[in-house]
Chain A
């Protein structure tokens, strides 16, 4: 009984860590990008200050907005929190991650996106509709590619549960699997597309013709905007943790001792910092793609996922 209580407590603490640390990750990416582009960087805590400021502003809602527009920020934020509870951050074998697998995770992302697209259409401005249609185009191509990458992983680990899959990777030691190489690259490409980072969407711009995510949330303000921003920072961190913990899980805690947990926290933060550095580097090096080339980019990600699946069967199967 006490054990069970401890496990649930750990799960809640881990989800809380996700929520608390995600603006820090966003701040770190911004800091890296600024330094790489020879600009003066804002403080790492700037995203927290922005969120604080937004929560204290009065939200302005359009006259035509329906109830959908009001509840959407809350739905998105809670979907992201639920998604965060299924992803192992510092410890595996938690009750929340044991009850939901990676397909549920994709489902939470889809739920959040569905409401966001509806809210973009709800107020009836041209930009909202444009952003929604673009978002749905991209996500309908990105989702199958994501599932393909996930299936590659689950064929090797023979489970779709993230905790068990990570345990499998830890148990087998260091093995160079061709299918994992493909799945890793596919997942990186998809993460960039889904979180709206540079070759697909530019998170820093409000230039009308190119924006996707920003176009949908253009009408939000105050605490609604704060929740949506926070949710998208959470999503970025979720993808980062997925990549770091599935493919390089070494260091994650398997026993709930203080030393193991604190080591795991330090290690995952170091891994995320490294991943974010790569992201900032690629965002500095590459320019945004034309919208009609995004389809090519995502079909390449799909091809990688498919080849990962094939190379698992061809190159790694046991006879």
Chain B
């Protein structure tokens, strides 16, 4: 589908998709936890506005509700929760030294190309609008995984996990014209529960090994 033939709203959704991809890259290169959480909230905001625009173009009221849920959960509640944990554990001043940052960034770019290559047959065989953004949402999922691999802090892993969920949610919006309401509500509350549970895990990990750096987890043996 040539971009000139699309209407202005769909063009805006595609631009927002590109910006969501950018925020994934920004998270990948971020060493400070608070800034990571901020970029995550930004991704949520872009996702919520893309959902709202999709709701408007597809004329689907359900999507307004999921846009509002995304806004409430992923822009305000979850970032606030993670931010509180970071501040409480006094980790907001730590700068995580990312080793081989350049390789990770290049890996991220190649993951984006890979997801485009994988999805090319799917995209070229359909006429659904906005399906071009599917490759971006798959790469958001893969970049979230890369974030979890490359960072050492458990909080960064949680943010990576949540951004994987962002990618899946975005894929659902651009490929179907909105999932059934029950599914969307279910996923939203799953994410909410996951965020709360992760908070409890943070407490336990930091209580038992006094840090959230997962490299330290192999020191759990009894004799020291």
Are A and B associated in one complex?
yes
Contacts of A319 in B (CB 8 A): 1, 123-124
Using a CB-CB cutoff of 8 Å, which residues 84-115 of chain B contact chain A? 102, 105, 109, 112-113
Q: A314-B135, A315-B3, A315-B132 are in contact. Are A303 and B105 (CB under 8 A)?
A: yes
Interface size on B, as a range, is: 20 to 34
The answer to whether A178 touches B124, judged by C-beta atoms less than 8 angstroms apart, is no
- CB-CB nearest in chain B for A310: B112
The answer to whether A181 touches B113, judged by C-beta atoms less than 8 angstroms apart, is no
The answer to whether A176 touches B1, judged by C-beta atoms less than 8 angstroms apart, is no
Q: Does B8 sit at the interface, judged by CB under 8 A?
A: yes
Residue-wise, chain B 14-28 has the 8 Å CB interface mask toward A (1 for contact) of: 110111011001000
Q: Does B170 sit at the interface, judged by CB under 8 A?
A: no
Using a CB-CB cutoff of 8 Å, which residues 125-142 of chain B contact chain A? 132-133, 135-136
- CB-CB nearest in chain B for A300: B29
Q: Does A239 sit at the interface, judged by CB under 8 A?
A: no
The answer to whether B109 touches A182, judged by C-beta atoms less than 8 angstroms apart, is no
Contacts of B4 in A (CB 8 A): 172, 175
The answer to whether B116 touches A313, judged by C-beta atoms less than 8 angstroms apart, is yes
Interface hub of B3, B11, B12, B124 (most chain A Cβ within 10 A): B3
Contacts of B21 in A (CB 8 A): 307, 311
Contacts of A181 in B (CB 8 A): 15, 18-19
A317 to B5, CA, bound (A): 12
Smallest CB separation, A171 vs chain B (Å): 10
Q: A172-B4, A319-B124 are in contact. Are A314 and B11 (CB under 8 A)?
A: no
Question: Total A-B pairs in contact (CB under 8 Å)?
Answer: 67
CB < 8 Å neighbour of A307 from B12, B22, B132: B22
Q: Does B2 sit at the interface, judged by CB under 8 A?
A: yes
CB < 8 Å neighbour of B133 from A310, A313, A315: A315
Residue-wise, chain A 149-183 has the 8 Å CB interface mask toward B (1 for contact) of: 00000000000000000000000101111110110
Interface hub of A175, A178, A316, A319 (most chain B Cβ within 10 A): A178
A310 to B2, CA, bound (A): 16
Q: Does A265 sit at the interface, judged by CB under 8 A?
A: no
Contacts of A178 in B (CB 8 A): 14-15, 17-19
Q: A303-B105, A306-B109 are in contact. Are A182 and B1 (CB under 8 A)?
A: no
A–B pairs, 18, beta carbons within 8 Å: A175-B3, A175-B4, A175-B11, A177-B11, A177-B15, A178-B17, A178-B19, A181-B15, A181-B18, A303-B25, A307-B109, A307-B112, A310-B112, A311-B136, A314-B132, A315-B14, A316-B14, A319-B1
A-side residues, CB < 8 A to B, are: 172, 174-179, 181-182, 299, 303-304, 306-307, 310-311, 313-319
Q: Assuming A176-B12, A177-B3, A316-B14, what are 14 further A-B pairs, CB within 8 angstroms?
A: A174-B8, A175-B3, A181-B15, A299-B102, A303-B109, A304-B22, A306-B109, A307-B18, A307-B25, A307-B112, A311-B18, A314-B116, A315-B14, A315-B132
